[in-house]
Amino acid sequence: MAHKQLKIAFIHPDLGIGGAERLVVDAAVGLQMKGHDVIFYTSHHDPKHCFEETRDGTLKVNVRGDWLPRTIFGRFYILCAIFRQIVLAFSLIYQDDKEYDVLVIDQLSACIPLFKSLSSARILFYCHHPDLLLTSRESLIKKLYRIPVDKWEEWTTGMSDRIAVNSGYTGSVFKESFRSIKQIPEILYPPINFTGYDRSVDLNDESVKILQCSQKMLISINRFERKKNVELALRAFASLKEMVSAETLSKYRLVLAEKIIKNTGGYDRRVQENVEYLEELDQLAKSEFGLKTFTIYPSSLDLPPSDTQIIFLCSFNDAQRTYLLSEADLMLYTPSNEHFGITPVEGMYGCLPVIACNSGGPVETIKHEETGLLLPSDPEAWGCGIKDFVTGKYDKMKMGRQGREHVRQKFSLEAFSNQSQEIIDDMMAQPLKKSSVVLYFLFAMVMVLIAVVYACL
């Protein structure tokens, strides 16, 4: 079906490297492939730290307001982010002569009232997770300062013409967090762009050579953060000592790979939690379980000893990712209550059965005992699950094929683009709803007063 060509602008705070950025870039590429005129507006874009499509000319990118501070003396992160977005919004409205048909906004909803007042564009807001749930509130003044910010997030989000979320789980969290919003969000699952995963493995790449081994691989791909519970995979692997023979266990190696972190590019020694948690995991493996470990840091080409049982891979590159997804036997995805979790989708597309926790997004992406296993967050349960693959109870080849087909049908860029187009078509068919900008100034006055009090304490 032919669609009217539309002018679509994506508004994203920081167009770096991360799951949210991967999603909006894929969404933009998909809509551009449907014939729409697509452009990005962002407060920050570093050509040395971004996805290729935003650097090689595939997508047009406009940067506005990058000269504004991200923090004030290490405080007011959210206020600075709001201010930067408002400046970007005014710039788009008054400097650009283009009238956009659709604005796709994610992460931060602060600018929505401006566009509802001063533009004729329809607004689709994509909620990865409510911001009010992503911040700590240690002090009384922080709690007070967050009250109007949280209310502002709820009010501005509710002004969108349509709202989308990345999973049914996030949809339920959204409903619980924003009770005044009556609109039911659309579930728009993040896709993966298959072309990025269909590359052949370059076995001559030096960074790939250090991963090659005679053992079969189990892989866990996640950030080295405690909330990701990477130790679950480690404890589950160690529990195999009591479930299979030493000879069988010696045929397997667990690779704990650190996924790229937004704004750092991966494992970063300057990030204290990265350093501390890696050390904790290493000590747990060696001291408590007596496992032989080896750590591969970024740019390291040292070859692990052949009897290494645990590999810590810090910040893998694309070639290493391709190798892991093509050569591993099984993927272990450890977080509980994950908003969505794109990693299991990547694993299934690589024909890997996936073991994940039976909560959050993976419940919607993994078919239990068909494309993987959904288990309680318990090392013994996971150990039994791994054992069932090792001993052949499950046909991992068949399960892998089923996983790949499942992803092709449900999580393709084409499926995502088609659903996005349906949402846009529906928005464009509805009467335009305008709003007033008066509350902006009331909110700004309250925020300035709180900021002054907070800075004086």
Q: What is this structure's pTM?
A: 0.85
Q: Work out the average pLDDT over 361-379.
A: 97
Tokens of 347: 């694993």
| Beta bridge partners of residue 222, listed in sequence order | 258
Residue 273 has φ and ψ, to the nearest 5°, of -65, -35
Please check the confidence at residue 114 and state whether its pLDDT lies above 50: yes
Average pLDDT on 188-212 reads 91
Between 342 and 453, the more confident residue is 342
What pLDDT is stored for residue 247 in this prediction? Answer: 94
**Most confident region among 13-22, 70-79, 171-180, 191-200 by mean pLDDT:** 171-180
The contacts of residue 1 (CB under 8 Å, 6+ apart) are none
Q: Which residue has the higher pLDDT, 396 or 452?
A: 396
pLDDT exceeds cutoff 80 at 370: yes
Give mean pLDDT, residues 325-333. 97
Asked if residues 14 and 263 have their Cβ atoms less than 8 Å apart, the reply is: yes
The 3-state DSSP composition of the chain as helix, strand, coil percent (nearest 5) reads 45, 15, 40
List 293's β-bridge partners, or say none. Answer: 310
* Alpha carbons 340 and 378: distance in angstroms, whole number: 20
Check pLDDT > 50 for residue 271.
Answer: yes
* 390-399 contacts, C-beta under 8 A, 24 or more apart: 390/240, 390/244, 390/248, 390/252, 391/244, 394/353, 394/369, 396/329, 396/330, 396/353, 397/351, 399/353, 399/370, 399/371, 399/372
